[in-house]
Homo-oligomer: A and B are copies of this chain.
């Protein structure tokens, strides 16, 4: 058991998970006392955790007025999809020349799992596994970390509102096209396909939101 992790890290991890999963709603107040008793600690590690999450843009901290979960707007999510295009296309272009046969097999395996998956939660898991494995060969730790952080924030909105508006089939077809381009060593084409893939998801999200609610 490597439970050497200090309380503040455990708290920030738990809070982060709850915020991303929507267990704690956007805009909800995060009282230090409440959290402290929930985690069985004093308020000190709670405050450190809140500081960390504030730097991650997941909570907002008003001086002497407490912390609350950062409200996630549709605009921000759409922005994050644009950022995804920029970062992930760059990573993919760098990754394609570095891909080995082992990478291709790994990606195939993930897509096969995707085919078998039935519940939306599994789709999204396979989806992120595919994207992550797709960029990994680029060997750029900072870029990969930034991509991960950005996806984490975008994913927050998706999990809340909808479970894949587009269905399961279409994205998978696009995944296979992207993988084929990677096998062919055509980085530019792979990046172009990826851009369309993400842009399409962005658009379907925008329309779905416009239909369900006026704005926000």
Say yes or no: A142 contacts B80, CB within 8 Å.
yes
A86 — which chain B residues lie within 8 A by C-beta?
86-87, 89-90
- Judged by a CB distance under 8 angstroms, whether A83 is at the interface is yes
| Residue of A44, A54, A79, A90 contacting most chain B CB atoms (<10 Å) | A79
Select from chain B the residue with minimum beta-carbon distance to A140: B79
Say yes or no: B5 contacts A63, CB within 8 Å.
yes
- Judged by a CB distance under 8 angstroms, whether A47 is at the interface is yes
- A 59-102 binary contact with B (CB < 8 Å = 1; else 0): 00001100000000000100110110111011000100000000
- A 154-179 binary contact with B (CB < 8 Å = 1; else 0): 00000000000000000000000000
A47 — which chain B residues lie within 8 A by C-beta?
48
CB within 8 A of A54: which of B6, B52, B150? B52
CB within 8 A of A52: which of B8, B51, B89? B51
- Judged by a CB distance under 8 angstroms, whether A28 is at the interface is no
- Judged by a CB distance under 8 angstroms, whether A33 is at the interface is no
Say yes or no: B90 contacts A85, CB within 8 Å.
yes
- A 27-63 binary contact with B (CB < 8 Å = 1; else 0): 0000000000000000010011101101110000001
- Judged by a CB distance under 8 angstroms, whether A146 is at the interface is yes
- Judged by a CB distance under 8 angstroms, whether A143 is at the interface is yes
| 7 cross-chain pairs, A with B, having the tightest CB-CB distances, nearest first | A55-B55, A86-B90, A79-B142, A86-B86, A51-B51, A48-B51, A52-B55
Give 16 A-B pairs besides A83-B87, A146-B146 with Cβ atoms closer than 8 angstroms. Answer: A5-B63, A8-B51, A44-B44, A47-B48, A48-B51, A51-B51, A51-B52, A52-B54, A55-B56, A79-B142, A82-B143, A83-B142, A83-B146, A86-B86, A86-B87, A86-B90
**13 examples of A-B residue contacts, CB within 8 angstroms:** A47-B48, A48-B48, A49-B51, A51-B52, A52-B52, A52-B55, A76-B141, A79-B141, A80-B142, A82-B143, A83-B146, A86-B86, A86-B89
